[in-house]
Amino acid sequence: MEKLPAPVPRAAVHARATAIALALLAAFAAPAACAQGVDRPVRGLVGLGITGGGDRLATVQWSDGDSTDIKAGGQFDLRGGIDVRLGDTPFTLQASLGWFFQRASGTNGSVTFERFPLELLGTWRVADSLRLAAGLRRPGNGKLEGRGAASNIGSTTYRGRLGAVVEGEWLFGGLYGLALRAVSEEYEAPNGEKADGSHVGLRISVYF
């Protein structure tokens, strides 16, 4: 397990990343809230998820004695895609592409793990405000990279294996969804070592 040699004062990276992600979601949500034809058969979507879980890939040690674990199942998931209703049925197909990343950053170094997962889900609307979904997820290749004072971590590309998703989504306001989800996936390092990227998370989506 790689460790940053602790020259970096800790930064409020999580708060900053959350603020950026929420700002991006809000930028899409504003026009979506004015959209007409909420029940049309094909809709776009944007979403923001916060997740936790998976194997530890690296540990960043900060100069104040704290540490941050970079995990294969964390931490922020920005996503866009389409949601297609299958005729006059309670079933839909949803396809989306995401930017999934965790970053620990100080004033003179950072460690990032990022990937671009593709999902294809089938959903079943069991009630007006609830639908269940399951499907496949191709996580894409994950890149772990250390920069600056964390350059000793280097750069490693993990090959993503096909995984699975299950979720329950609460629908409200005609345009919004809040989903609790579980993802099972795995990565493989160039040396053949496996890393479990399975995680759980919450995601809010805007449909337009």
C-beta separation of 58 from 65 below 8 A: no
What is the band of 166 on the pLDDT scale with cuts at 50, 70, 90?
A: very high
Looking at the predicted structure, is the pLDDT value of residue 15 above 70?
no
Mean pLDDT of all residues in the chain? Answer: 87
Looking at the predicted structure, is the pLDDT value of residue 3 above 50?
no
Tens digits of per-residue pLDDT, 85-120?
999 999 999 999 999 999 999 888 899 999 999 999
Token pair in block for residue 125: 């609307």
- The predicted pLDDT at position 107 comes to 85
Angle at 201 between CA 172 and CA 58, to 5 degrees: 155
Of residues 64 and 127, the one with the higher pLDDT is 127
**DSSP label at 106?**
B
Tens digits of per-residue pLDDT, 110-119?
999 999 999 9
> What b/e string do you get for 5-21 counting C-beta neighbours within 10 Å, with b at 16 or more?
ebebebeebbeebeeeb
Give 106's strand partners: 10
Handedness of CA 79, 80, 86, 89 (dihedral sign): positive
CATH number, domain containing residue 28: 2.40.160.20
- The predicted pLDDT at position 6 comes to 46
Of residues 207 and 22, the one with the higher pLDDT is 207
- The predicted pLDDT at position 183 comes to 98
- The predicted pLDDT at position 1 comes to 34
Rounded Cα gap, residues 161 and 139, in angstroms:
7
Rounded Cα gap, residues 9 and 106, in angstroms:
6
C-beta separation of 99 from 116 below 8 A: yes
- The predicted pLDDT at position 170 comes to 97
Give CA 160 to chain center in angstroms. Answer: 14
153 Cβ partners below 8 Å, 6+ apart?
Answer: 2, 4, 58, 111, 144, 145, 146
43 Cβ partners below 8 Å, 6+ apart?
Answer: 82, 83, 207, 208
What is the band of 16 on the pLDDT scale with cuts at 50, 70, 90?
A: low
pTM attached to this predicted model:
0.83
Looking at the predicted structure, is the pLDDT value of residue 44 above 90?
yes
Expressed as residue numbers, the domain containing 118 is 2-207
Tens digits of per-residue pLDDT, 50-66?
999 999 999 998 888 88
What is the band of 141 on the pLDDT scale with cuts at 50, 70, 90?
A: very high
Question: Largest Cα–Cα distance in the chain?
Answer: 60
> Residue 114 class from Cβ within 10 Å (0-12 exposed, 13-18 middle, 19+ buried)?
middle
Structurally, how many domains does the chain consist of? 1
- The predicted pLDDT at position 17 comes to 54
Tens digits of per-residue pLDDT, 62-78?
888 889 999 999 999 99
Rounded Cα gap, residues 153 and 139, in angstroms:
22
